[in-house]
Amino acid sequence: MTTSERNLALLQDEAFVDDVTEFFAIRQLYNAAIKQVRTKLEILNDGFQVEHCHNPIHHIECRLKSPGSMLEKLRRKGYPIEMQSLREGILDIAGVRVVCNYLNDVNLVADLLLSQDDIRLLKKKDFISNPKPNGYRSLHLIVSVPIFLAGTTEHIPVEIQIRTIAMDYWASLEHHLKYKTENDVSDSLKCRLKHDVDLLSAIDADLQDIFFQMNA
Ligand code: GTP
Ligand code: MG
């Protein structure tokens, strides 16, 4: 190996170490943002219980996008494979799913969270008022939360999916069924999945009504 080849190899090694170091620093930021949102939601849920004797949240799930999924999404969107496009273009690296007890709890939780001064709403998709053609229902928010570091503040995006137990039940199984099959789902099976989501939607509305009547 010549001297210039050895120098180039060393530079490449250093660049790799820099990339890995930056990647871990970024993951730590997104992890901090998840923790912050989760804590805010838990505090809201506990406070609501104290004031109104009702827990709007059934449970919360959190996930950090895997490196493989980040790469797949950068490629799918046609973005350059680099840290900057990851930070600017991929807004669901940090994901929080909030599963609510009753239908009205979904907007209640969203409104309570968004009314907090340090939370900034970047994007909102209301698939409950406007379900997807396959029947998928959920409220999706992309918010940014400040993470205070020594000397700087980073605003980190977090995708928050808020839905009822029934919406979560259907979405989880529908995702699992789609993931299991390599073939396209036939129209008749799509129709049955849509029929099921409509039944669950009616149950959500009915349970909300029963809740109102029992608490009147
Ligand atoms: P992604 O590239 O998948 O992140 O989609 P997007 O950036 O266009 O956002 P969108 O709000 O449409 O969907 C984000 C997430 O919502 C998905 O990653 C799923 O978790 C969920 N989701 C959206 N549509 C469906 C659906 O039809 N079925 C199920 N089970 N989940 C869905
Ligand atoms: Mg996603």
The protein residue with its alpha carbon nearest to ligand 1, atom 13, reads: 140
Which pLDDT does position 193 carry in this prediction?
96
Ligand nearest to the CA of 94: 2
Ligand nearest to the CA of 125: 1
Mutate-to-test residue for ligand 1 from 97, 126, 132, highest number of ligand atoms within 8 A of CB: 132
pLDDT at 16 over 90: no
d(CA 101, CA 95): 20
**CATH number for position 170:** 3.30.460.10
pLDDT at 182 over 80: no
Ligand nearest to the CA of 161: 1
- Measured from the Cα of 76, ligand 1's closest atom is 2
Distance from the alpha carbon of residue 209 to the mean position of ligand 2, in angstroms: 32
pLDDT band at 176 (very low <50, low <70, confident <90, very high): very high
135-171 tens-digit pLDDT: 999 999 999 999 999 999 999 999 999 999 999 999 9
d(CA 68, CA 126): 28
- pTM recorded for the entire structure: 0.93
Range of the domain at 36: 3-214
d(CA 129, CA 148): 36
Which pLDDT does position 185 carry in this prediction?
82
Which pLDDT does position 21 carry in this prediction?
87
Concatenating the DSSP letter of every residue in 62-129 gives EEE--HHHHHHHHHHTT--SSHHHHHHH---SEEEEEEESSHHHHHHHHHHHHTSTT-EEEEEEETTT
Considering only CA atoms, which of 158, 62, 65, 63 is closest in space to residue 118? 158
**141 touches 160 (CB < 8 A):** yes
Q: Give ligand 1 pocket residues (Cβ under 6 A).
A: 73, 92, 125, 132, 134, 136, 140, 171, 174-175
- Among residues of the chain, what percentage have pLDDT more than 90? 81
pLDDT at 85 over 80: yes
* CA 27-28-32 angle, 5° bins: 115
pLDDT at 14 over 80: yes
Number of domains composing the chain: 1
d(CA 101, CA 106): 8
Distance from the alpha carbon of residue 171 to the mean position of ligand 1, in angstroms: 10
ipTM, 2 decimals? 0.95
Distance from the alpha carbon of residue 146 to the mean position of ligand 1, in angstroms: 25
Mutate-to-test residue for ligand 1 from 93, 136, 162, highest number of ligand atoms within 8 A of CB: 136
Which pLDDT does position 50 carry in this prediction?
97
CA–centroid distance for 20 within its chain: 24
